[in-house]
Structure 1
């Protein structure tokens, strides 16, 4: 799994006179250089792309955590007619490929006037069936005694959700945040469809522009790719310790 990443980093660090297609592959550059990164950053608005991706990813994570946890709470802790049917219908939407709903989503986005905007990039990912499923499983693992004690103290359902459920399921929230951030940060298809103004381009679109800007100079394309994946790797390294407790507590392991 690490070999492609190492090869990508090696290509980005190679100078112009090194053969990046040599066989056997040379993973360690003979003369490492950061010139490719400097060239990519100076000749393209990668700073703007980075800011756009950060804004979209952070807002997507925040809204997704809010909506999914609010939707999952009644499905996990409240008793009402049709609860299991609603949950089954929500989970079944995971089976629908994005390509099927892509055109209706685009039409709706245009009708709402969200094309070429941050909100238009976030719109399809405000809620997710996987997020609702994950949070429901996490909420069901919280002892009922905590909920009953809060209710006896006069806490409302919204207060129980905020003061009891969310703190008790912090690992699940972090896990959902990681998955949502990675999906939003690396998304290419939806921004390509909904954007035609370069000032709103995200990093995946910016890296795609390098293929035309530099006539397939793979060193520069690799440098742009490394810039785009570093935040995801850092996020996963610092927060991955929360994933195992979440899988164990929610019944997702194995």
Structure 2
């Protein structure tokens, strides 16, 4: 076995796939085939699973997509360990991804706080006033949920999660019924069938923001074009006009 063959063998073992090994070794190829292991965090799933995936399927019909959903911390770890080829995720504004990963910044977005008018949330509301209401959140493990809890606890205010629900549509339906305050991205709000039943809550001393990232290990190799296609499609899906765009 010569040195290039040995390097290829080691890359396959360490990355867990031929596609991942090709990306690491920056090997050229014609039509992109094989697997593209992609992680998407739940807050981006509504945007990521429409235009970006349609674009990937159209441009790379021979590419097999393996899409995994998970929280940001887990996705970062999976990309670092080459269990995923790339991941689309959000981090609280001001927090950057690990330096050993390629992080493509997709920009900052406001995270919208929404509630049914019947809940009686003040307009605008202070952080102290928001702490008096129940919240409808993703299940434990969500990085932004942890960020919210830390923000409230820093002010020695309670943060009550009344209901956990993974689906954004389910969370919005519960918010529309007046069961608590919810949070979601502007794109998810714009596409929600419940948007006319809720209102955006403005906070006077609390403006939660997240920054969307596309992460992958260097080098991207022959997955560079699929990663770029998905990144551009996601950026397009997130770029909503109007007051909700940061």
Range of TM-score over shorter length: under 0.3
Task: Write 1 or 2 for the structure with the bigger share of strand.
Answer: 2
Q: TM-score, normalised by structure 1?
A: 0.26
TM-score (norm 2): 0.27
Q: Which has the larger radius of gyration?
A: 1
